[in-house]
Amino acid sequence: MLDNAPRGTICIEDIEIGMIRTLRKVVTDEDIEMFAAVSTDHNPVHLDDDYAQDTIFGGRIAHGMLTAGLISAVIGEQLPGHGTVYLGQSLKFLAPVRPGDMVLTEVEVTEIDNPKRRVTMNTRCLVNGKKVLVGDATVLAPSRKFD
């Protein structure tokens, strides 16, 4: 059998229920500004201190999808890793992420469909131990076998 899986990848044949991978990242002002530029979402709650002070958040917050992007980073780089194809993601935003917050992102395998190469994972982001984002992802995992 030939091995065609990219380096740093956990193939469907090696994935197990309960596997967890994590990423820690401090969300910076620069991250928020770059996300606004790339996404074209210039909502002042993310970019304008004066405006954001008068919102229910009492200050600026990161884009929710910036935080969700950290889930994509874990899936695309660690579990399963390079060659993974996203099929779906549910998201529930529970609390804001602010500039300077350290976000802990966790991805945990909950279901595996080996014949279809599908993996379902519980996804969550936490700040200071508090969940700020939760959801589930379904991906198509790479395989060591040629299709």
75-119 pLDDT tens trace: 999 999 999 999 999 999 999 999 999 999 999 999 999 999 999
* Cα separations in angstroms, 25 against 56, 101, 109: 25, 8, 21
Looking at per-residue pLDDT, the higher value among 3 and 79 belongs to 79
Is 90 exceeded by the pLDDT of residue 8? no
Residue 93 lies in a domain: yes
> Structural domain tally of the chain?
1
Residue 105 lies in a domain: yes
Residue 99 lies in a domain: yes
Q: Could you report the per-residue pLDDT of 82-94, keeping only the tens digit for each?
A: 999 999 999 999 9
Residue 115 lies in a domain: yes
Is 50 exceeded by the pLDDT of residue 29? yes
Residue 102 lies in a domain: yes
What is the pTM (predicted TM-score) of this model?
Answer: 0.92
CB 102 within 8 A of CB 26: yes
Residue 127 lies in a domain: yes
Q: What is the 3 state secondary structure string of 79-133?
A: CCCCCCEEEEEEEEECCCCCCCCEEEEEEEEEEEECCCCEEEEEEEEEECCEEEE
> Which CATH number do you get for residue 103?
3.10.129.10
Is 90 exceeded by the pLDDT of residue 147? no
**Residue 100 domain boundaries:** 12-140
Residue 5 lies in a domain: no
